[in-house]
Amino acid sequence: MNTVTLLPGEHLTVSNLGREGAVPAKITQAAANIIATVRAKGDAALHRYAAEFDGVDLTDFRVPQERIDAALEQVDASLIAALEKAAAQIRDFHQRQVRQSWFTTRADGTLLGVQVTPVRAAGIYVPGGRAQYPSTVLMNAIPAKVAGVERVVMATPPQRDGGISPATLAAAKVAGVDEIYLVGGAQAVAALAYGTESIPRVEKITGPGNAYVAAAKRLVSGDVGIDMIAGPSEVCVLADASAEAAVVAADLMAQAEHDPLAACYLVTESPELARGVEAALEVLLAQSPRAEITRTSLTDQGTIVIAPDLATAIDAVNTIAPEHLELHCADALGLVGSIRNAGAIFVGAWSSEPLGDYVAGPNHTLPTGGTAQFSSPLSVDDFVTSSSVICYTPQGLLADAPATQTMAQAEGLWAHALSAGLRRRLIDEGAPAVATKVLAEADLTAIAWPADDAATVASGVGRPTAQGEVR
């Protein structure tokens, strides 16, 4: 691992991290070509890419419903128990995120509020390749179902035999996935975004993937909703001298074994702990079945930051803005309030990051590559839309029209002001006053921009009653 030693008064900068970004330009171009081909040729393109990239010739991309229904018969009972426990805790956590529509009224009767509506169809991408990820199925499908999404569609690359991992299939059954398609990569994103002959389009795409998937999601964003542009997995461990070196080493490896591009950071005030962690890594790597991937990640993407004090160490953590942050410190809980940028915070020595990956309940689809500075974990909110609801009464219109017209005049938007002005005229003088023939002879600019004084703008105008009084 690369070591950065900060001197007193020196701060970690983004340039120290060597991040290259989630989507290189050449991959973006390749993804764009794939998307264009899928849009033009539909299923024919998917068959071509399945043969080219996955080495399979599929007659049908969709997994039959009867196979999904029988999924739990294909895996061990212990795995079913683990999936069901994880699902229950994920569901419980995400149910607490559900937002209700709400409405309020002003004294003048104006009704304002928010209507919350689930998207009709959501596509979740589940990676294949180096490993199978049933946990990703749970973390994406369950929030969608909690949100009320009617159609949850899963896309995942086919295995070499043209099938699907039994564990992934079982997770889909437990999570309530409605449709499964054996399509991977950028072509899967394109199919979900635009539809093909056999795959109806969705309104939102979530889930992690390789660089081609990330590039495709970025390219289709705007035509369809996406959760985030996810780069390689990453962890940052903030540790003091109280931490166990071997435990910290194992936690770093837990991310490194995902991908050679996975990034691992150790931030500490203790040079002794740093040396202990490096020694422990060698011991643990000697027996790792994924030693090659893990070592490549640690060597190429791993960084140890040695800070002169805790404040500088915390500042370094906030600069890294990691996907996962572990606080291996004596006063771990007391440090949480100092953390501004992190996808998920694991507090204390017992809070192993893999617990969050699988069963804790909070979502493990998290912002990567420093995007935790402005992005949040996947949640129920990603599967709903919010519509503002605005319902004025005549009294409310008279209260707000003068301010509206004044602001419209300041912006030079005549018709904006006229829209409110005609309503004022309708209330004051009745329907004949806004008849087209009458308006043809009227000074419309005077109606649009009546030059209300400050008091009128602030408080509005009263509504005449039948007796000519104003209320």
Residues serving a catalytic function are 323-324
β-pair type (179-181, 344-347):
unpaired
Q: Is-contact 154 180, C-beta < 8 A? A: yes
β-pair type (102-105, 111-118):
antiparallel
Backbone angles phi, psi at 44, to 5 degrees: -60, -40
What percent of the chain is helix, strand and coil (3-state, nearest 5)? 50, 15, 35
The rounded distance, in Å, linking the Cα atoms of 274 and 276 is 5
Alpha carbon of 32 to those of 208, 215, 464: distances in Å?
18, 8, 62
The CA-CA-CA angle for residues 256, 50, 155, to 5°, reads 60
The rounded distance, in Å, linking the Cα atoms of 431 and 373 is 54
The H-assigned helical ranges of 359-452 are 394-410, 414-429, 436-440, 444-448
CB neighbourhood size of 272 (10 A)? 10
Give the total residue count for the chain.
471
The rounded distance, in Å, linking the Cα atoms of 189 and 230 is 14
The rounded distance, in Å, linking the Cα atoms of 198 and 191 is 9
